[in-house]
Amino acid sequence: MATGIDVPTVDILGVPIHQITERELLELLERRQAASQRTWLVTVNAELVIRARESREVAQTLGRADLLLADGSGIIWAARRLGGCLLEKLPGVEIAEKLVKWAAGTGLSVYFLGAKPGVAQEAAAKMQSKYPGFNIAGYRDGYFGNMEEEEVVAEIRGLAPDILLVALGAPRQELWIAKHFNELQVGMAVGVGGSFDVWSGRVKRAPAWMSDHGLEWLYRLATDPRRIGRMLALPRFVYQVVCTKLTGR
């Protein structure tokens, strides 16, 4: 875990989630930005925890991030059971939007990397009309091959954005950031999953009543049944949390 961040964590099946509210997070990021400290954020949901349990590479990658945030009802539920603590839900799409809003208020620049061709550009334009004032450092789709990877990194390094949003899906975006964070001249990097699809209007988020009842997964499954394979991580997550609670291991 990177040093310099004095925020308690709660262990969710081996992944240390920071106990931080949205307000505290934004204040912390402002302080770090003012002090020229670079920050890599990961928003962690139940599916990513299961991926970290299955893959040492993913687990080690998460261990290198500066801040691991509670993205989703599964993590909130597990934190209450395993750590007796009440976490604030910090969905990636909302944190990413807060970063853009902050950038608009302060003139910081944002690079949009990921999603299908045209989507990052559209997402950036939508955000700019909602939050005028931030500087679009650039955008690029997330369907590049290994041969183009160096070119992508060189472009971002050359532009040196304050904030890099990476929408390649988890854990690919986390592995990508881990691989390139040191060479990229970005102040802050965060994996934002399907946020560009949402901002561009291609994908709708679950209605509030469903999110409030922890049913985002059901909405996503109903609107995109191809996610069924990935969703099998959820019952496994619940089972492993219950076992850990019962056995204390």
Per rule CB under 6 A, is residue 72 in the interface with ligand UDP? no
Q: Which is nearer to ligand UDP, 25 or 46 (CB)?
A: 46
Of positions 167, 178, 189, 241, contacts ligand UDP by CB under 6 A: 167
**Which stretch, 126-134, 153-161, 176-184, 190-198, contacts ligand UDP (CB under 6 A)?**
190-198
* 63 in contact with ligand UDP (CB under 6 A): no
Instruction: Report which of 103, 20, 102, 101 is spatially closest to residue 66, judged by C-alpha positions.
Output: 20
Comparing CB distances to ligand UDP, the nearer of 161 and 194 is 194
DSSP assignment string, 171-222: THHHHHHHHHTTTS--SEEEE-TTHHHHHTTSSPPPPHHHHHTT-HHHHHHH
Using CB under 6 A, pick the residue from 91, 188, 194, 234 that binds ligand UDP. Answer: 194
3-state DSSP call for residue 9? strand
Window of 28-36, 150-158, 164-172, 206-214 that interacts with ligand UDP by CB under 6 A? 164-172
Asked whether position 169 contacts ligand UDP by CB under 6 A, the answer is: yes
Beta bridge partners of 112: 139, 165
Contacts of residue 114, Cβ cutoff 8 Å, sequence gap at least 6? 120, 140, 141, 142, 165, 166, 167, 168, 173, 192, 196
Note the residues at the interface with ligand UDP (CB under 6 A): 114-116, 142-143, 167-170, 193-194, 196-197
